[in-house]
């Protein structure tokens, strides 16, 4: 029997893929059913869905359904400290944008699709606490034990399966590195008439060097804001941090100073801030993902990353799509598939993990830098003029045909070249665009 641990985005999508192949599959999920519980009634938390994720959804016929429930975000809307805004489109090409989608809505729809189209059983309130790989026995907190030939561990960054492998399997290694920053989710509610209080089709960013806030639109007219800020203030410094924002007055003063245009749009700021927890931001690397051709880690369980490229879920979906391609090639020959999957995906997951950390610094520090803004303007022109030009962001976000590792290699080399060109001119008009594209082609 094939067992999937975790009915998050990766586990539910994998269940649909396997059910479509008529593989009998049982899913075990630690939480209750979100479609009937608290989350269904709770506040919206959203994510950016882009081409790699959409490509995977397309293969199980879920792409259009999901995109109908999403809001296109055509670019980054930068909010300066004095309240001016500037839209930096994600691409100069038509049709290249990202989509804001409800995390719970997406997950619920994937679970329903696996159940109704594939006849998959999802067992809720079943937390996996241990696994005996040699015997093929999975242990749950409830006392249930399950025999499995094959186990897919899609149980997220805190994976119970991975922790069990760490305890039991010689040579299994796992390492998490955390940024000094944490995050907190806040809300901009809809306007009284149900409309949007900020531009609807944008990902809003308030970059402030040492910290930043972002906001993504929801279908009901609200925005989910995420404040990324240091957890602690280093000794001897007066930099803001979560530990310093201890009461409503300090919080309001901080927002008045830093996010003055957003503050009047956030009537429940203090309530949200003091009710919601501070989340950590970590990169998880572990090895091996394949244990004895019986257990395979994928999605966040194998490679959780910081959220700054909006790729964690997209990468997890790509894992599932690539796994399916291997099943197409080899049939259900897991002895061949598991090692091949690990060999193929490790390098690509590591590349997007690195890019996500780099993008944290880009979003926080560089988007307000004039050289960076000139570079974005130049990239827009290049994308509008040359079919073979893709910015690094486009390669990662809109090129499902390009492995992440290749996007990282090409993108970083190209960025270096363009930043250097843009630092030498006052205006993009001063550059010879034919020469620029010739230089880029020459460097590939
Ligand atoms: C602030 C933030 C913003 C993000 N924004 C984006 C974005 O814009 N775009 C994007 O692509 N990604 C984004 N991500 C990343 C994305 O959330 C994850 O990469 C994605 O959820 C991974 O899916 P998963 O199914 O592998 O893991 P998870 O979503 O963690 O799902 C794991 C599932 O397993 C269950 N589970 C856990 N432990 C056990 C156990 N022991 N036994 C049984 N079940 C268990 C959990 O309840 C859950 O249902 C963001 C992440 C954060 C923190």
CB 212 near ligand 1, within 6 Å: no
Residue 366: its pLDDT value, please? 81
CA-to-CA distance for 163 and 173, rounded, in angstroms?
A: 10
Q: Tell me, in angstroms, the distance from the centre of ligand 1 to residue 83's CA.
A: 34
CA-to-CA distance for 318 and 50, rounded, in angstroms?
A: 11
Question: By residue range, what is the domain housing residue 320?
Answer: 2-70+101-176+282-362
Domain end position, chosen among 310, 337, 362: 362
Residue 273: its pLDDT value, please? 98
3-state secondary structure 78-105: EECCCCCEEEEECCCCCCCCEEEEEHHH
Tell me the pLDDT tens digit for each residue of 384-418: 999 999 999 999 999 999 999 999 999 999 999 99
CB 188 near ligand 1, within 6 Å: no
Read off the pLDDT of each residue in 1-15 and give the average, rounded to a whole number. 98
Residue 107: its pLDDT value, please? 97
On whether residue 273 sits in a domain, the answer given is: yes
Residue 367: its pLDDT value, please? 76
Lowest mean pLDDT among 5-14, 166-175, 359-368, 429-438: 359-368
Q: How many CB atoms lie within 10 A of CB 280?
A: 14
Quickly tell me which residue has 């203030």 as its tokens.
233
| N- to C-terminal Cα separation, the chain | 47
Tell me the pLDDT tens digit for each residue of 276-331: 999 999 999 999 999 999 999 999 999 999 999 999 999 999 999 999 999 999 99
On whether residue 266 sits in a domain, the answer given is: yes
- Structural contact between residues 176 and 327, judged by C-beta atoms closer than 8 angstroms: no
Read off the pLDDT of each residue in 412-435 and give the average, rounded to a whole number. 96
Looking at the fold, whether 290 and 235 belong to one and the same domain comes out as no
CATH number of the domain that 55 lies in? 3.50.50.60
Domain end position, chosen among 362, 382, 402: 362
Looking at the fold, whether 116 and 255 belong to one and the same domain comes out as no
Residue 292: its pLDDT value, please? 98
Tell me the pLDDT tens digit for each residue of 371-384: 998 998 999 999 99
Q: Tell me, in angstroms, the distance from the centre of ligand 1 to residue 10's CA.
A: 8
Task: Please give the share of the chain, as a percent, with pLDDT higher than 70.
Answer: 98
- Structural contact between residues 146 and 140, judged by C-beta atoms closer than 8 angstroms: yes
Read off the pLDDT of each residue in 169-184 and give the average, rounded to a whole number. 97
Give me the DSSP letters along 192-260.
TTS--SS-SSSEEEEE-SS-EEEEEE-TTS-EEEEEEEESSPPTT-----GGG--SHHHHHHHHHHH-T
- 37 has a pLDDT exceeding 80: no
- Structural contact between residues 174 and 284, judged by C-beta atoms closer than 8 angstroms: yes
Which residues, in sequence order, are CB contacts of 365 under 8 Å at separation 6+? 207, 209
Looking at the fold, whether 266 and 355 belong to one and the same domain comes out as no
Pocket test for ligand 1, best of 105, 213, 300, 355 (most atoms within 8 A of CB): 300
* Torsional sign, CA 68, 115, 159, 134: negative
Residue 294: its pLDDT value, please? 98
On whether residue 9 sits in a domain, the answer given is: yes
Read off the pLDDT of each residue in 123-128 and give the average, rounded to a whole number. 98
Looking at the fold, whether 30 and 118 belong to one and the same domain comes out as yes
Looking at the fold, whether 273 and 345 belong to one and the same domain comes out as no
Read off the pLDDT of each residue in 221-236 and give the average, rounded to a whole number. 96
Confidence bin at 118 (pLDDT 50/70/90) = confident
Q: Closest ligand 1 atom to the C-alpha of 11?
A: 25
Looking at the fold, whether 158 and 302 belong to one and the same domain comes out as yes
Tell me the pLDDT tens digit for each residue of 181-214: 999 999 999 999 999 999 999 999 999 988 999 9
On whether residue 336 sits in a domain, the answer given is: yes
Looking at the fold, whether 156 and 38 belong to one and the same domain comes out as yes
- 361 has a pLDDT exceeding 90: no
Domain end position, chosen among 321, 340, 362: 362
Looking at the fold, whether 275 and 293 belong to one and the same domain comes out as no
Read off the pLDDT of each residue in 110-132 and give the average, rounded to a whole number. 96
- pTM (2 decimals)? 0.96
CA-to-CA distance for 117 and 299, rounded, in angstroms?
A: 23
CB 312 near ligand 1, within 6 Å: yes
Pocket test for ligand 1, best of 12, 32, 47, 360 (most atoms within 8 A of CB): 47
Looking at the fold, whether 111 and 192 belong to one and the same domain comes out as no
Read off the pLDDT of each residue in 52-76 and give the average, rounded to a whole number. 97
CB 349 near ligand 1, within 6 Å: no
Task: Please give the share of the chain, as a percent, with pLDDT higher than 90.
Answer: 92
Q: Tell me, in angstroms, the distance from the centre of ligand 1 to residue 48's CA.
A: 13
CA-to-CA distance for 38 and 78, rounded, in angstroms?
A: 34
Q: How many CB atoms lie within 10 A of CB 114?
A: 28
H or E element at residue 358 = helix 334-361
On whether residue 90 sits in a domain, the answer given is: no
Residue 117: its pLDDT value, please? 85
Residue 121: its pLDDT value, please? 97
Residue 39: its pLDDT value, please? 53
């Amino acid at each position: 029997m094939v067992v999937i641990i975790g009915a998050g985005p990766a586990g539910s999508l994998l269940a649909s893929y396997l059910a479509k192949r008529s593989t009998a599959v049982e899913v075990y999920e630690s939480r209750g059913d979100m479609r009937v519980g608290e989350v269904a009634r709770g506040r919206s938390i959203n994510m950016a869905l882009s081409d790699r994720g959409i490509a995977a959804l397309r293969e199980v016929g879920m792409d259009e359904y999901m995109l109908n429930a999403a809001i296109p975000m055509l670019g980054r809307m930068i909010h300066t400290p004095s309240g001016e805004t500037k839209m930096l489109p994600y691409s100069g090409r038509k049709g290249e944008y990202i989509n804001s989608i409800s995390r719970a809505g997406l997950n619920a729809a994937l679970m329903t699709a696996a159940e109704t189209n594939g006849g998959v059983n999802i067992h809720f309130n079943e937390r996996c606490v241990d696994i005996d790989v040699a015997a093929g026995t999975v242990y749950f907190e409830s006392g249930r034990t399950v025999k499995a030939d094959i186990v897919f561990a899609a149980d997220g960054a805190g994976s119970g399966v991975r922790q069990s492998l760490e305890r039991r399997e010689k040579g299994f290694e796992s390492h998490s590195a955390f940024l000094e920053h944490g995050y907190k989710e806040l809300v901009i509610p809809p306007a009284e008439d149900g409309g949007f209080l900020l531009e609807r089709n944008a990902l809003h960013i308030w970059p402030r060097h040492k910290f930043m806030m972002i906001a993504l639109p929801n279908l009901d007219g609200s925005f989910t804001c995420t404040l990324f800020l240091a957890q602690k203030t280093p000794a001897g410094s007066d930099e803001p941090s979560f530990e310093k924002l201890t009461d409503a007055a300090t919080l309001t003063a901080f927002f008045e100073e830093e996010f003055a245009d957003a503050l009047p749009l956030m009537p429940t700021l203090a309530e949200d801030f003091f009710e919601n927890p501070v989340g950590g931001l970590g990169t998880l690397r572990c090895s091996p993902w394949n244990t004895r051709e019986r257990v395979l880690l994928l999605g966040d369980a194998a490679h959780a990353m910081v959220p700054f490229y909006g790729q964690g879920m997209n990468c997890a979906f790509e894992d599932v799509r690539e796994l399916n391609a291997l099943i197409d090639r080899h049939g259900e020959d897991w002895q061949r598939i598991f090692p091949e999957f690990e060999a193929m995906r490790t390098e690509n997951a590591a590349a997007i993990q690195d890019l996500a950390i780099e993008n944290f610094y880009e979003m926080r520090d560089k988007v307000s830098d004039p050289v960076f803004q000139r570079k974005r303007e130049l990239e827009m022109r290049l994308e509008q003029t040359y079919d073979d030009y893709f910015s690094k962001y486009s390669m990662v976000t809109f090129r499902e045909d390009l492995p992440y590792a290749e996007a990282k290699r090409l993108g970083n080399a190209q960025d270096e070249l363009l930043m250097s060109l843009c630092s030498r001119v006052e205006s993009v008009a001063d550059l010879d665009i034919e020469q620029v594209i010739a230089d880029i082609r020459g460097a590939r």
